[in-house]
């Protein structure tokens, strides 16, 4: 009997790991998020170590937030869990504060004069 229990427990663990991997974004998505944060700051070569830490924190926070949102969409009953919802709101606030610290705010695209466009060619 012990072997049967161990087998079912290991199967549940594998199933749980599979579900976690299905929810997690693909590594290329994480790279795109990271790159989208680095680009406005001048790219990978020009950011400071402090900015790199903040970018990594923002990417991880966004990942956690996305996973929580996915859970809420799959099981709407979780939205009524006040503690879980508070955690989600705290993560959202942390992400906003991290982006503000990095200087990320919506900016209107700079308009180029027609001459400047042709100078680059």
pLDDT in tens, the chain (121 residues): 444 444 444 454 444 444 444 556 677 888 899 999 998 888 888 889 999 999 999 999 999 999 888 888 888 888 788 888 899 999 999 999 999 999 865 555 556 566 665 665 5
What's the pLDDT at 42? 86
What's the pLDDT at 17? 43
Tell me whether residue 97 is in a domain: yes
What's the pLDDT at 76? 81
Domain that holds residue 30: 26-105
On the CB side of 83, how many CA atoms lie within 13 Å of its CA? 0
Indicate the number of domains in the chain. Answer: 1
Tell me whether residue 87 is in a domain: yes
Tell me whether residue 71 is in a domain: yes
What's the pLDDT at 55? 94
Tell me whether residue 2 is in a domain: no
Q: How far apart are CA 68 and CA 78, in angstroms?
A: 10
Tell me whether residue 75 is in a domain: yes
CB of 95 closer than 8 Å to CB of 58: yes
Tell me whether residue 56 is in a domain: yes
Report CA-CA distances (Å) from 86 to 31, 62, 68, 90, 107: 28, 16, 11, 6, 30
CB of 99 closer than 8 Å to CB of 58: yes
* 34 contacts: CB under 8 Å, gap ≥ 6: 55, 56, 59
Tell me whether residue 11 is in a domain: no
Tell me whether residue 4 is in a domain: no
């Amino acid at each position: 009997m012990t072997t049967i229990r161990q087998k079912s427990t290991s199967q549940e663990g594998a199933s749980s790991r599979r579900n976690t991997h299905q929810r997690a974004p693909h590594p290329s998505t994480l790279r795109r998020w990271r790159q989208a944060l680095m680009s406005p700051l001048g790219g990978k070569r020009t950011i400071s170590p402090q900015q790199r830490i903040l970018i990594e924190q923002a990417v991880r926070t966004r990942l956690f937030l996305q996973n929580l949102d996915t859970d809420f969409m799959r099981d709407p009953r979780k939205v009524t869990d006040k503690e879980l919802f508070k955690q989600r709101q705290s993560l959202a606030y942390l992400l906003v504060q991290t982006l503000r610290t990095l200087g990320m705010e919506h900016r209107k695209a700079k308009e180029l004069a027609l001459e400047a466009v042709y100078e680059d060619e």
